[in-house]
């Protein structure tokens, strides 16, 4: 089959990566967003998000003539495939999904759709949404427009690699012909060995939620085991390695941390639990995962206070703000409740993140954002590590001892070897491991 002409509606994280990658693979792609500023920025090469390699990929695809951007919906008249990549955030705390972006996009695209176009849900859509989109399009256009589901599994920070070499491609559609058209978009990945699973619309939609809920549960589970390990003097590193050797468990996603965050796990677990309750099939495991993760922020706050003593008036260095390394995304970042708690308790916070400082600053009034790790650490009373950036992994015990006023480090990402930190003179507190105190150090002020 040949290359496709497609439109991607919504050029946020997923839409922009999808549009650029599909253009790079040889398709004619038009990225459409209602946000004029975003489109203007993308067109002048100023990426609205930080994602490694994205600026170069977009520039290359634009230069090839295969990628264009616009706010003008009439541009999609020529598109055979229309991918929806708009946001599907939580509507409220109960987990219901706010589908306003989806419905406004459907209303907007309907008058401009080619009759034989296929509309593909790339956004994470609640189970049943694909079918409702088909009904709505039927009402609006008077035609029976084919609707399919093709959920995206990319990880922020590795989005291009994940799109180009995915673990799997999931397609939900009512007809083999529609599935085949979507498979054709991914023929490079499929030729390279990526498996494809073609199924129904509902199954495809539920696969996405179930995958995220399972991963979130793995994170919440290892965090609980980590707390237990710490309480009994065991080592979470050994435990993760030991259980991860069982291929039924797998060795990934077994690192303890400050809780899962980001733009997907929190809202998708809530949405799955909500949908399950609505269907009279409550998911006790996912509900427990959500509760455990919500409690994590306060647990981390108490851990920091136990390690440092009362924080009122103390100068604390914060290394990392983004919900994970490799992105500037602050959506539901675990740093937010922890730092809000520290600020409310009277701590003075100087924070550095290689990419997320500007995004984080308005979310955390009172937080001083600085430009380097050294500026954050200089003369602080203790350091708190919140994101696993490589730049922080590269810090040595001597860096902390030299720069901090008191060499206390609370590491919520387990970036360092406890013995090396202690031998280097650092009072080191991490997760699921016994706190390591140096044989002889400068006095540490507690209280």
Give the residue with the Cβ less far from ligand NAD, 186 or 428: 186
Angle between helices 335-344 and 284-308 (to 10 degrees): 40
Q: What is the largest CA-CA distance in the chain?
A: 79
Q: Which residue is nearest to ligand NAD (CB)?
A: 12
* Phi then psi dihedrals of residue 339, to 5 deg: -70, -35
Q: Which helix H or strand E contains 119, and what residues bound it?
A: strand 118-121
Q: Which residues are catalytic?
A: 264
If binding is defined by CB under 6 A, does position 251 make contact with ligand NAD?
no
Query: Three-class SS of residue 45?
Result: coil
Residues 6+ apart with CB under 8 A from 261: 323, 324, 331, 332, 333, 334, 335, 336
Give the residue with the Cβ less far from ligand NAD, 89 or 378: 89
Footprint on residues 24-43 left by ligand NAD (CB under 6 A): 32-35, 38
Q: Which helix H or strand E contains 78, and what residues bound it?
A: none
Task: Please state the closest distance from residue 18 (CB atom) to ligand NAD, in A.
Answer: 9
Footprint on residues 117-146 left by ligand NAD (CB under 6 A): 123-124
**Cα separation, 222 vs 225, whole angstroms:** 5
Give the residue with the Cβ less far from ligand NAD, 6 or 239: 6
Give the residue with the Cβ less far from ligand NAD, 324 or 429: 324
End-to-end CA gap in the chain: 70
Per the DSSP assignment, residues forming a β-bridge with 28 are 5
If binding is defined by CB under 6 A, does position 11 make contact with ligand NAD?
yes
Per the DSSP assignment, residues forming a β-bridge with 147 are 119
Considering only the stretches 79-87, 288-296, 354-362, 436-444, report the one whose residues sit in contact with ligand NAD under the rule CB under 6 A. 79-87
Task: Please state the closest distance from residue 158 (CB atom) to ligand NAD, in A.
Answer: 10
If binding is defined by CB under 6 A, does position 263 make contact with ligand NAD?
yes
Task: Please state the closest distance from residue 134 (CB atom) to ligand NAD, in A.
Answer: 18
Other CB atoms within 10 Å distance of the CB of residue 90: 17
If binding is defined by CB under 6 A, does position 162 make contact with ligand NAD?
no
Angle between helices 284-308 and 201-232 (to 10 degrees): 40
Considering only the stretches 82-90, 178-186, 364-372, 414-422, report the one whose residues sit in contact with ligand NAD under the rule CB under 6 A. 82-90
Cross-sheet strand order for the sheet of 368-369: 368-369, 348-352, 315-319, 382-385, 408-411, 427-429
Residues 6+ apart with CB under 8 A from 280: none
Give the residue with the Cβ less far from ligand NAD, 35 or 399: 35
If binding is defined by CB under 6 A, does position 98 make contact with ligand NAD?
no
Task: Please state the closest distance from residue 13 (CB atom) to ligand NAD, in A.
Answer: 3
If binding is defined by CB under 6 A, does position 86 make contact with ligand NAD?
yes
Strands (E), 250-309: none
If binding is defined by CB under 6 A, does position 264 make contact with ligand NAD?
yes
If binding is defined by CB under 6 A, does position 20 make contact with ligand NAD?
no
**Cα separation, 151 vs 121, whole angstroms:** 7
Task: Please state the closest distance from residue 108 (CB atom) to ligand NAD, in A.
Answer: 5
Q: Which helix H or strand E contains 351, and what residues bound it?
A: strand 348-352
Give the residue with the Cβ less far from ligand NAD, 86 or 376: 86
What is the total count of residues that contact ligand NAD (CB under 6 A)?
27
If binding is defined by CB under 6 A, does position 269 make contact with ligand NAD?
no
Task: Please state the closest distance from residue 182 (CB atom) to ligand NAD, in A.
Answer: 16
If binding is defined by CB under 6 A, does position 152 make contact with ligand NAD?
yes
Task: Please state the closest distance from residue 248 (CB atom) to ligand NAD, in A.
Answer: 26
Give the residue with the Cβ less far from ligand NAD, 199 or 375: 199
**Cα separation, 169 vs 163, whole angstroms:** 10
CA-wise closest residue to 323 among 348, 299, 359, 276: 359
Residues 6+ apart with CB under 8 A from 2: none
Give the footprint of ligand NAD on this chain (CB under 6 A).
9-15, 32-35, 38, 85-88, 101, 104-105, 108, 123-124, 152, 154, 156, 263-264
């Amino acid at each position: 089959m040949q290359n496709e002409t497609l439109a991607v509606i919504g050029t946020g994280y997923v839409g922009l990566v999808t549009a650029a990658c599909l253009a790079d693979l040889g398709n004619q792609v038009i990225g459409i967003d209602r946000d004029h500023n975003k489109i203007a920025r993308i067109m002048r090469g100023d990426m609205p998000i930080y994602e490694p390699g994205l600026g170069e990929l977009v520039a290359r695809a634009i230069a090839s003539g295969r990628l264009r951007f616009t706010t003008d919906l009439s541009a999609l008249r020529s598109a055979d495939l229309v991918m929806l990549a708009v946001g599907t955030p939580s509507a409220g705390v109960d987990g219901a999904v706010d589908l306003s972006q989806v419905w406004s996009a459907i209303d907007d695209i309907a008058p401009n759709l080619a009759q034989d176009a296929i509309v593909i849900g790339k956004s994470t859509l609640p189970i049943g949404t694909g079918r409702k989109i088909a009904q709505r399009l039927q009402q609006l256009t008077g035609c029976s427009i084919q609707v399919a589901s093709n959920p995206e599994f990319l990880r922020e920070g590795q989005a291009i690699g994940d799109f180009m070499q995915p673990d799997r491609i999931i397609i939900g559609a009512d007809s083999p012909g529609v599935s085949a058209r979507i498979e054709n978009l991914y023929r490079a990945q499929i030729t390279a060995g990526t498996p494809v699973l073609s199924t129904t619309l509902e199954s495809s939609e539920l696969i996405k939620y179930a995958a995220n809920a399972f991963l979130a549960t793995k994170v919440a589970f290892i965090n609980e085991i980590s707390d237990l390990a710490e309480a009994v003097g065991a080592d979470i590193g050994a435990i993760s390695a030991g259980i991860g050797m069982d291929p039924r468990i797998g060795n990934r996603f077994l690192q303890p941390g400050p809780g899962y965050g980001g733009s997907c796990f929190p809202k998708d677990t809530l949405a799955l639990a909500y949908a399950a309750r609505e269907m009279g099939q409550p998911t006790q495991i996912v509900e427990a995962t959500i509760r455990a993760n919500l409690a994590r922020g306060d647990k981390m706050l108490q851990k920091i206070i136990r390690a440092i003593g009362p924080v009122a008036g103390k100068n604390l260095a914060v290394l990392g703000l983004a919900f994970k390394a490799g992105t500037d995304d602050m959506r539901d970042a675990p740093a937010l409740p922890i730092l809000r708690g520290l600020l409310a308790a009277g701590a003075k916070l100087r924070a550095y993140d290689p990419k997320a400082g500007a995004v984080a600053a308005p979310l955390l009034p009172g937080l001083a954002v600085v430009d380097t790790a050294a500026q954050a650490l200089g003369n602080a009373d203790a350091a708190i590590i919140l994101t696993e950036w490589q730049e922080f992994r590269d810090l040595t015990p001597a860096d902390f001892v030299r720069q901090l006023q008191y060499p206390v480090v609370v590491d919520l990402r387990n970036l360092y070897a406890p013995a090396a930190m202690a031998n280097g003179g650092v009072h080191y507190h991490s997760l699921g491991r016994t706190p390591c105190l140096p044989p002889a150090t400068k006095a540490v002020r507690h209280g």
